[in-house]
Amino acid sequence: MTAPSTYGLSTQARNLRWLLTDLVQEVPGVNSVAVVSSDGLLLLSSETGAGTAADTPQEPVKGPRGASADLATIVSGLGSLTTGAAALMDGGGVKQTMVAMEHGSVFIMAISDGSLLGVHATPDCDMSVIAYHMALFVGRAGHVLTPEVRSELRQSMEKTP
């Protein structure tokens, strides 16, 4: 995880970081994860693909360019696009967006406060497992992601070298 140390963070912020780390390390096929605020700012991220078997050598994450800022931009843009499309179609709120590509997938799930959880996964991932674990993250994080915690996370990301 490329995020800074949890030293000095509130219990809620530390718990969110732990949930994100757990999602990346425990779910096979996950390359990287980003949590983006409703205004498009990166709150939490991970750039290491930890979903490989222990005996498999870890390869560097390939895309989106290995940068959490790129994934956050993609998540924010797709989230905005699908929200606009849903409004045009009178479809209600967008719960989840999935883009399947030749060399991977991107999953986006809404968090209760308007923030978004985005996952970049391998092309051979089990989509249902990823969606399930994303739903668990959203269920656990939704009530904790208060304006105060979002501000704290945003400030801690700004301090990241």
CA distance 100 to 63: 14
Question: What share of the chain has pLDDT > 90, as a percent?
Answer: 52
pLDDT surpasses 60 at 98: yes
Share of the chain above pLDDT 70, in %: 81
Q: Write down the pLDDT at residue 5.
A: 52
Please list, in sequence order, all residues whose beta carbon lies within 8 angstroms of the beta carbon of residue 152, skipping any fewer than 6 positions away.
Answer: 9, 10, 13
Q: Please name the residue ranges forming H helices in 32-126.
A: 68-88
pLDDT digits (tens, 9 = 90+) for 35-61: 999 888 899 988 543 333 333 334 444
* Plot region of 65 (φ>0 → left; ψ -120 to 50 → alpha; else → beta): left
Q: Does 131 have pLDDT greater than 50?
A: yes
What average pLDDT score do residues 19-48 get? 88
> Tell me, what DSSP letter sits at residue 121?
E
Q: What is the mean pLDDT of the chain?
A: 82
Q: Please tell me the predicted confidence (pLDDT) of residue 8.
A: 74
CA–CA dist 130, 23 (Å, integer): 9
Q: Output 157 or 31, whichever has higher pLDDT.
A: 31
Of the chain, the end-to-end C-alpha distance in Å amounts to 13
What pLDDT score was predicted for residue 85? 96
Among 61, 75, 60, 51, which residue's Cα sits nearest to residue 124?
51
**154 or 30, greater pLDDT:** 30
Residue 31 buriedness (CB in 10 A; 0-12 / 13-18 / 19+): buried
Do residues 21 and 1 touch, judged by C-beta distance below 8 A?
A: yes
Q: pLDDT digits over 65-84, tens only? A: 446 788 999 999 999 999 99
Q: Which two tokens stand for residue 5?
A: 């140390």
Supply the pTM of this predicted model: 0.81
- Confidence (pLDDT) at 160: 59
